[in-house]
A and B are shown apart, each in its own frame.
Chain A
Amino acid sequence: MTDAAVPTARPHRASLLADDARMKRRKAAETRFRLYGLSAIAVSLATLAIMLWTIFSDGVSAFYQAKLTFPVTLSSDLLDPMGNGNRDEMVKVTTVGYNKLLTRAFEAELAAKGIDTGELSNKDVNALISKDAAGDLRAMVLANPAVLDTTITAKMLAAGRIDGYLKGRVTMQTAERDGQISPEQLQFADRLIDAGILSSQWNWDFFTNPDASDQRPEAAGLGVAILGSLYLMILVAVMCVPVGVAASIYLEEFAPKNRWTDLIEVNISNLAAVPSIVYGILGLAIFINFMGFPQSSTLVGALVISLMVLPTIIIATRASIRAVPPSIRDAALGVGASKMQMVVHHVLPLAAPGILTGTILGLATALGETAPLLLIGMVAFVDNYPSAPVEGFLDPATALPVQVYGWAQRADPAFIERSSGAIIVLLAFLVVMNVAAIILRRKFERRW
Chain B
Amino acid sequence: MDDMRIVERTVNTKASKISAKGVQVHYGATHALKDVDVEILENTVTAFIGPSGCGKSTFLRCLNRMNDTIPSCRVDGSITLDGENIYDPRVDPVRLRARVGMVFQKPNPFPKSIYDNVAYGPKIHGLARTKAELDEIVETSLRKAALWNEAKDRLASPGTGLSGGQQQRLCIARAIATSPEVLLMDEPCSALDPIATAQVEELIDELRASFSVVIVTHSMQQAARVSQKTAFFHLGNLVEYGETGQVFTTPQDPRTEAYITGRIG
Q: Is B132 an interface residue when CB atoms closer than 8 A count as contact?
A: no
**B104:A331 contact, CB within 8 angstroms:** yes
Per a CB cutoff under 8 Å, which of B95, B108, B111, B171 touches A350?
Answer: B111
Per a CB cutoff under 8 Å, which of A257, A350, A446 touches B71?
Answer: A257
* B80-139 interface (Cβ within 8 A of A): 93-98, 101-104, 106, 108-111, 120-121, 124-125
Question: Given that A329-B69, A336-B125 are contacting pairs, would A447 and B160 also be in contact in the complex, using a CB cutoff of 8 Å?
Answer: yes
- Minimum CB–CB distance from B247 to chain A (whole Å) comes to 28
**B111:A448 contact, CB within 8 angstroms:** yes
**Interface extent on A, as a size class?**
20 to 34
A residues in contact with B160, CB < 8 Å: 447-448
* B160-174 interface (Cβ within 8 A of A): 160, 171, 174
**B111:A334 contact, CB within 8 angstroms:** no
- Minimum CB–CB distance from A445 to chain B (whole Å) comes to 10
**A346:B110 contact, CB within 8 angstroms:** yes
Q: How far is the CA of A335 from the CA of B64 in the complex (A)?
A: 10
Q: Is A330 an interface residue when CB atoms closer than 8 A count as contact?
A: yes
Q: How far is the CA of A329 from the CA of B104 in the complex (A)?
A: 12
Q: Is B264 an interface residue when CB atoms closer than 8 A count as contact?
A: no
Per a CB cutoff under 8 Å, which of A336, A446, A448 touches B97?
Answer: A336
**B94:A337 contact, CB within 8 angstroms:** yes
Q: Is the interface of A mostly helix, strand, loop or mixed?
A: helix
B residues in contact with A334, CB < 8 Å: 64, 66, 97, 101-104, 175
**A335:B101 contact, CB within 8 angstroms:** yes
Q: Is A238 an interface residue when CB atoms closer than 8 A count as contact?
A: no
Question: Given that A327-B106, A331-B171 are contacting pairs, would A336 and B111 also be in contact in the complex, using a CB cutoff of 8 Å?
Answer: no
A residues in contact with B93, CB < 8 Å: 333
B residues in contact with A346, CB < 8 Å: 110
Per-residue 0/1 for A255-274: is the Cβ within 8 Å of any B Cβ (1 yes, 0 no)? Answer: 01100000000000000000
Q: Is B178 an interface residue when CB atoms closer than 8 A count as contact?
A: yes
Question: Given that A330-B104, A331-B104, A333-B66 are contacting pairs, would A338 and B111 also be in contact in the complex, using a CB cutoff of 8 Å?
Answer: no
Q: How far is the CA of A345 from the CA of B108 in the complex (A)?
A: 15
Number of residues from B at the complex interface, CB < 8 A: 29
Per a CB cutoff under 8 Å, which of A256, A335, A338 touches B174?
Answer: A335
**A333:B97 contact, CB within 8 angstroms:** yes
Q: Is A140 an interface residue when CB atoms closer than 8 A count as contact?
A: no
Q: How far is the CA of A335 from the CA of B180 in the complex (A)?
A: 9
**B95:A336 contact, CB within 8 angstroms:** yes
Q: How far is the CA of A345 from the CA of B124 in the complex (A)?
A: 10
Per a CB cutoff under 8 Å, which of B69, B97, B106, B111 touches A335?
Answer: B97
**B120:A335 contact, CB within 8 angstroms:** yes
Q: How far is the CA of A325 from the CA of B107 in the complex (A)?
A: 12
Q: How far is the CA of A71 from the CA of B161 in the complex (A)?
A: 71
Q: How far is the CA of A334 from the CA of B185 in the complex (A)?
A: 11
- Minimum CB–CB distance from A330 to chain B (whole Å) comes to 6
- Minimum CB–CB distance from B171 to chain A (whole Å) comes to 7
**A447:B111 contact, CB within 8 angstroms:** yes
A residues in contact with B120, CB < 8 Å: 332, 335, 337, 345
B residues in contact with A337, CB < 8 Å: 94, 120, 124
Q: Is A328 an interface residue when CB atoms closer than 8 A count as contact?
A: yes
- Minimum CB–CB distance from A14 to chain B (whole Å) comes to 44
Q: Is A215 an interface residue when CB atoms closer than 8 A count as contact?
A: no
**B102:A256 contact, CB within 8 angstroms:** no
Q: Is A341 an interface residue when CB atoms closer than 8 A count as contact?
A: yes
* A305-364 interface (Cβ within 8 A of B): 325, 327-338, 341, 345-346, 350
Chain A residue with Cβ nearest B95: A336
Question: Given that A333-B66, A334-B66, A448-B111 are contacting pairs, would A327 and B104 also be in contact in the complex, using a CB cutoff of 8 Å?
Answer: yes
Q: How far is the CA of A447 from the CA of B111 in the complex (A)?
A: 7
B residues in contact with A329, CB < 8 Å: 69
B residues in contact with A335, CB < 8 Å: 97-98, 101, 120-121, 124, 174-175, 177-178
- Minimum CB–CB distance from B145 to chain A (whole Å) comes to 14
Q: How far is the CA of A329 from the CA of B97 in the complex (A)?
A: 14
Chain B residue with Cβ nearest A330: B104
Chain A residue with Cβ nearest B160: A448
- Minimum CB–CB distance from B37 to chain A (whole Å) comes to 25
**B109:A331 contact, CB within 8 angstroms:** yes
Q: How far is the CA of A325 from the CA of B106 in the complex (A)?
A: 12
**A336:B71 contact, CB within 8 angstroms:** no
B residues in contact with A345, CB < 8 Å: 120, 124
Q: How far is the CA of A352 from the CA of B66 in the complex (A)?
A: 26
**B175:A256 contact, CB within 8 angstroms:** no
A residues in contact with B111, CB < 8 Å: 328, 350, 446-448
A residues in contact with B94, CB < 8 Å: 336-338
Q: How far is the CA of A448 from the CA of B177 in the complex (A)?
A: 22
**B178:A327 contact, CB within 8 angstroms:** no
**A328:B110 contact, CB within 8 angstroms:** yes
B residues in contact with A448, CB < 8 Å: 111, 160
- Minimum CB–CB distance from A380 to chain B (whole Å) comes to 51
| 9 residue pairs, one from A and one from B, having the closest CB atoms | A327-B108, A336-B98, A335-B121, A336-B97, A334-B102, A331-B108, A448-B111, A446-B111, A338-B94
Residues of A within 8 A of B (CB): 256-257, 325, 327-338, 341, 345-346, 350, 446-448
Q: Besides A332-B110, A335-B120, A335-B177, 9 other CB < 8 A contacts? A: A330-B69, A330-B104, A330-B108, A331-B109, A334-B64, A336-B125, A337-B94, A345-B124, A346-B110
What are 26 A-B contacts defined by CB distance under 8 Å?
Answer: A327-B106, A327-B108, A328-B111, A330-B69, A330-B104, A330-B108, A331-B104, A331-B174, A333-B69, A333-B93, A333-B97, A334-B64, A334-B66, A334-B102, A334-B103, A335-B98, A335-B101, A335-B177, A336-B95, A336-B97, A336-B98, A336-B178, A338-B94, A350-B111, A447-B111, A447-B160
